[in-house]
Amino acid sequence: MSIDTKAALKHFKATDTVMAELLESALKGPATLTIPIPKKPSEYFSSIASSVVSQQISTHAARAIKARVVEALGGSITPQSVTAIDFTTLKSCGLSEKKTQYLKHNAEIWHEIPVEQFSVMTDEEIIKELTKLYGIGRWTAEMFLMFSLARPDVFSFGDLALVQSLYKHYNLKPHFNRKIVSTVEAWSPHRTIASLTLWHTKDTN
């Protein structure tokens, strides 16, 4: 199943008028909603590496460091190029000691991750595989599902901006656990579209 905006909107109109209105607004606004496109398996490692680079620093800093890493690696972030480069040279791109260790380790064990099977694996199976990597927790794995695999039914309770947008538009409080879970579950099988809509609404507002 792929991300289907029309099917999602039809579903929300039948089950959740708040989300239906938010999605319609996001699709009509000057800054329209961007729908992820599935990446090729050969691009997965670069996505994971970019996530590691970006952790706990600003978007601007992450972009600059990634550009230096790409240049140092000869134009592309692959398991082979990361394995081949020496630790000190990689670290000198602006990476911390720990992030450099993460990238080197992940490159060495990447062949153990069944990326060619991701297309037939469940979201939870993929999360279990990705979190074997250094520096990759559940949130990062969920972002990978959304933006690298374009999986249609993902929501991350670990994403602060996403949850804050949910609270705002549904007049919810953090302790409304049952209501929060039931609201999100009602969006299935289109939780990715709902997530993108909540992020988009927060950013454009």
Catalytic amino acids? 159
Spatial distance between the Cα atoms of 107 and 61, rounded to a whole number of angstroms: 23
Q: 69 with 62: CB under 8 angstroms?
A: no
Spatial distance between the Cα atoms of 204 and 3, rounded to a whole number of angstroms: 22
Spatial distance between the Cα atoms of 31 and 18, rounded to a whole number of angstroms: 20
- Assign residue 48 a region: left if phi > 0, alpha if psi is -120 to 50, beta otherwise? alpha
Assigned token pair, 44: 């997965």
Find the DSSP H helices in the chain: 5-15, 17-28, 44-54, 59-72, 79-84, 87-91, 97-109, 123-130, 138-147, 160-170, 177-186, 191-204
**For 69-81, what is the HEC assignment?**
HHHHCCCCCCHHH
> Among positive and negative, which fits the CA dihedral 138, 139, 142, 143?
negative
